[in-house]
């Protein structure tokens, strides 16, 4: 009886060990090159809402997508996902945001509004964006 139970336990452990890769999240890394901002274009069509200026609590996100930004520049970079402000990345730093429903566009612009980055996609899992000058 002991051998039977040990055999079942060993088979279960093997099943768990080989099936864990089935549930791994998709991880994507993209390198995005900067473009210069046209200073005469007027309002920016990529920005729907800038940084909040009041304290209003937002609902919790289900966390379907994690987006990490690696800033390979000496500039502060403002991050927008689907046109909405999500934060700022320090020079030579990094940071992440969690988006509940995935995303369709990312837009990044330096604090002085001289360089910008943009990309489109559909994030479910984990994305990394490397921002280069």
- Predicted local distance difference test score (pLDDT) of residue 89: 97
Task: Output the pLDDT for position 110.
Answer: 96
Q: Are strands 115-120 and 105-110 parallel, antiparallel or unpaired?
A: antiparallel
Q: Six-digit token pair at 37?
A: 């901002």
- Each domain of the chain, given as residue ranges in start order, spans 27-38+46-52+61-133
The reported pTM is 0.71
**DSSP single-letter state for residue 48:** S
Under CATH, what is the fold of the domain 27-38+46-52+61-133?
Immunoglobulin-like (2.60.40)
The stretch 74-97 carries a mean pLDDT of 95
d(CA 20, CA 23): 6
Q: What is the mean pLDDT of residues 109-133?
A: 91
pLDDT for position 112: 94
Per DSSP, the three-state class of 4 is helix
Write the pLDDT tens digit of every residue in 31-48: 888 989 887 667 888 888
DSSP secondary structure code for residue 43 in this structure: S
């Amino acid at each position: 009886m002991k051998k039977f139970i040990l055999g079942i336990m060993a088979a279960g452990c093997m099943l768990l060990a080989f099936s864990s890769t089935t549930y791994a999240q998709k991880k994507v890394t993209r390198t995005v090159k900067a473009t210069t901002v046209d200073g005469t274009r007027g309002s920016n069509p990529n920005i729907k809402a800038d940084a909040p200026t009041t304290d209003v609590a937002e609902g919790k996100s289900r966390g379907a997508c994690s987006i990490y930004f690696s800033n390979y520049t000496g500039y502060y970079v403002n991050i927008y996902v689907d046109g909405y402000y999500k934060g700022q990345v320090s020079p030579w730093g990094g940071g992440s945001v969690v988006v509940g429903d995935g995303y369709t566009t990312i837009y990044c612009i330096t604090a002085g509004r001289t360089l910008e980055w943009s990309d489109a996609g559909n994030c479910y899992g984990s994305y990394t964006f490397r921002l280069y000058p």
